[in-house]
Chains A and B, each alone.
Chain A
């Protein structure tokens, strides 16, 4: 089966940088995704890593190390609106297919 671990809560101040880690154990691996969810609303896709290395999308970056079964989401220049839950998710099949989600990290950004 699959299991993912990420911290339950992270707190940071506006303008800072925060890193949310995710470690996983899977029977197969095709990629690691990150999703953001505000106040129980619809999760929205942030990034995807299939290969080792860093993917940058604006203020958000995501990193993957397949040999370490580890990834992280890096949020820079934090804004109050970044306060949300962040989920890592693993795909274990190519193309379309289910993702297994972690339990989420609640990020609180303080002024």
Chain B
């Protein structure tokens, strides 16, 4: 059973370009979460999605950031017109909806975004 997959693992973008990060949840998981982590800091919640539905985007910056989880395919976190402050590790996690293990989030390896 494959774990959570993220790609690319490393992404370099120049200021003003778009960054597109992908996440495939674990098999059987219908819930996806995106977190951002700056060096030496904790994981900051960004957005929580189900298939074709954004459940909670309270942690998303109002501008330039968007996320989707289509019926088919991976979840996408899109950052438009990147700035140096967007440089961070972006982690995706997935979980079950209900049941004994619904509290457990499984994390992907992360995408390290560097904006030059």
Contact = CB atoms under 8 A, between A and B. Distances in A.
B65 to A, nearest CB: 16
Interface size class of B (residues with CB under 8 A): 20 to 34
Interface stretch (B12-20, B66-74, B97-105): B97-105
Interface in B19-75: 31, 33, 35, 37, 39, 41-45, 48, 55-56, 59
Interface residues of A, number: 25
B42 A41 contact: no
Contacts, number: 64
B105 A45 contact: yes
Interface stretch (A12-20, A55-63, A98-106): A98-106
Q: Considering the complex of A and B, which 8 residue pairs feature the smallest CB-CB distances, nearest first?
A: A103-B42, A101-B43, A42-B107, A96-B31, A101-B42, A43-B107, A45-B104, A98-B48
Interface of B: 4, 31, 33, 35, 37, 39, 41-45, 48, 55-56, 59, 89, 91, 93, 95-98, 102-110
A96 B98 contact: yes
A98 B103 contact: no
A48 B103 CA distance: 8
A4 to B, nearest CB: 8
A100 B96 CA distance: 18
Contacts of B43: 43, 87, 89, 101
